[in-house]
């Protein structure tokens, strides 16, 4: 078996059907199996997919294990020389799987590769190309050339001789050698959603290069889920689940000091964002308290981050999944 394609289902049977149709339509030159891991067997409507594609290998999880643990389960039962982790809300538009297979057979220095993401309208989807580029977005600081220079000095961009090499691969499409899973153990069991691909990439990168091949592309539809961010602003850049996962990643990969630095930054910025907004409100309508909704959301998200503070410091061996009453984005989306 050349490639084992692993897809996670969480109440998205229609998306998976479209994804599978694109795989069978365009993939050639490789033998492959498809493994679907269902994180919600009771409500996932998997029978629809199994009826249309009876040859796929279907795995029912006992609970909603999130992205990383479910993929680990699929990889543990895969038979391919290579694994392709593919989001349910994706479409391939040509023989990208066959092309990745050929390229990886030629590039023995590469442990895993990714494909470039495109929106449904055909425009390229931006992505972070390095760990430090991503980390710098976590800090909430006043817009200033000075702060930009400080962050760039603290977190410089890596320089690679290989123009296709990057720090990490987006989890929507990861094509890796089987030994990449065997040597690393797969995704960390800490992560429920978001951040797990970044953390795993650091460990994968110890066994070979991580590359994006420019002639390999796919469409990412970005299916809606209850953990998507809403009310996006300068101070609310990430969803609550994203922030919990991102801070967990920093703690695991860069240590306690870097995690505490982020927590301190978020707390110290609370009076700054309120004072700044109150001054702006006075200038606009004379009432300092007229519009502080964004600031209130920011504080509520920090409150959730602090709930996970001890767990993150100690790196407790559990799934870092926020509860319904902690999902500030969902709770404030209609307000």
Percent of the chain with pLDDT over 70: 98
At residue 209, the pLDDT reads 98
188 and 97 assigned to the same domain = yes
Establish if 145 belongs to a structural domain. Answer: no
Write down the pLDDT at residue 64: 95
Neighbours of 244 (CB within 10 A): 28
Do residues 212 and 265 share a domain?
no
Structure tokens at 300: 């509520």
Please name the residue ranges forming H helices in the chain.
13-26, 46-52, 66-76, 96-106, 131-136, 145-154, 178-184, 196-204, 240-254, 256-285, 293-307, 309-314, 328-332
Segment 308-335, tens digit of pLDDT: 999 999 998 999 999 999 999 999 986 5
Structure token pair of residue 232: 């996006």
Domain that holds residue 301: 240-332
Is 143 a domain residue? no
Residue 16 Cα to chain centre, angstroms: 19
Cα separation of the two ends of the chain: 51
Q: How far is CA 235 from the centre of its chain?
A: 20
146-189 tens-digit pLDDT? 999 999 999 999 999 999 999 999 999 999 999 999 999 999 99
What is the domain count for the chain?
2
**Coil, strand or helix at 185:** coil
Determine the Cα–Cα distance for residues 222 and 220; give it in Å rounded to an integer.
6
- The answer to whether residue 313 sits within a structural domain is yes
Same-domain check for residues 71 and 9? yes
pLDDT of amino acid 227: 66
- 204 and 77 belong to one structural domain: yes
Q: What is the CATH number for 33?
A: 3.90.550.10
Backbone angles phi, psi at 232, to 5 degrees: -65, 135
Are residue 47 and residue 184 in the same domain, yes or no?
yes
To the nearest 10°, the Cα dihedral for 40, 46, 47, 52?
A: 180
Contacts with 72 (C-beta within 8 Å, 6 or more apart), sequence order: 181, 185, 186, 187, 189
| Per-residue pLDDT, 334 | 64
- Asked if 171 and 53 sit in the same domain, the reply is yes
Tell me the pLDDT of the chain averaged across its residues. Answer: 95
- pLDDT tens column, 5-60: 999 999 999 999 999 999 999 999 999 999 999 999 998 789 999 999 999 999 99
Residues 69 and 184 in one domain: yes
- Residue 121 CA to residue 162 CA, distance in Å, equals 30
Whether residue 159 is contained in a domain is answered as no
Q: Which two tokens stand for residue 184?
A: 């690393």
The pTM is what? 0.94
Q: What is the pLDDT of residues 286-300, one digit of tens each?
A: 999 999 999 999 999
- How distant, in Å, are the alpha carbons of 38, 104, 152, 274, 276 from that of 143? 44, 42, 14, 16, 12
Instruction: Give CA–CA dist 131/135, Å, rounded.
Output: 6
Is 7 found in the same domain as 92? yes
């Amino acid at each position: 078996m050349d490639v084992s394609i692993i897809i996670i289902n969480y109440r998205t049977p229609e998306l998976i059907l479209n994804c599978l149709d694109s795989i069978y339509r365009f993939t050639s030159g490789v033998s492959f199996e498809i493994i679907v891991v269902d994180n919600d067997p009771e409500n996932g409507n998997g029978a629809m997919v199994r009826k249309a594609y009876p040859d796929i290998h279907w795995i029912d999880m006992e609970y909603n294990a999130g992205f990383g643990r479910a993929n680990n389960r699929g990889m543990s039962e895969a038979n391919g020389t290579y694994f392709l982790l593919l989001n349910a809300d994706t479409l391939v538009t040509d023989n990208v799987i066959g092309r990745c297979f050929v390229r990886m057979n030629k590039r023995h220095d590469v442990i895993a590769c990714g494909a470039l993401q495109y929106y449904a309208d055909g425009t390229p989807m931006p992505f972070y190309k390095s760990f430090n580029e991503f980390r710098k977005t976590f800090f909430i600081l006043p817009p200033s050339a000075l702060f930009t220079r400080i962050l760039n000095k603290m977190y410089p961009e890596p320089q690679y001789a290989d123009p296709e090499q990057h720090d990490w691969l987006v989890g929507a499409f990861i094509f890796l050698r089987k030994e990449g899973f065997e040597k690393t153990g797969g995704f960390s069991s800490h992560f429920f959603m978001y951040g797990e691909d970044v953390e795993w990439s650091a460990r994968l990168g110890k066994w070979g290069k991580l590359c994006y091949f420019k002639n390999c592309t796919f469409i990412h539809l970005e299916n809606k889920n209850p953990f998507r961010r809403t009310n996006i602003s300068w101070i609310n850049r990430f969803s609550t689940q994203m922030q919990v996962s991102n801070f967990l990643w920093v703690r695991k990969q860069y240590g306690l000091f870097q995690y505490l630095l982020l927590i301190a930054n978020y707390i110290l910025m609370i009076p700054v964002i309120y004072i700044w907004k109150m001054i702006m409100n006075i200038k606009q309508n004379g009432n300092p308290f007229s519009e502080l909704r964004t600031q209130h959301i920011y504080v509520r998200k920090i409150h959730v981050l602090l709930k996970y503070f001890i767990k993150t410091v100690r790196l407790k061996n559990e799934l870092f999944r926020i509860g319904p009453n902690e999902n500030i984005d969902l709770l404030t989306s209609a307000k």
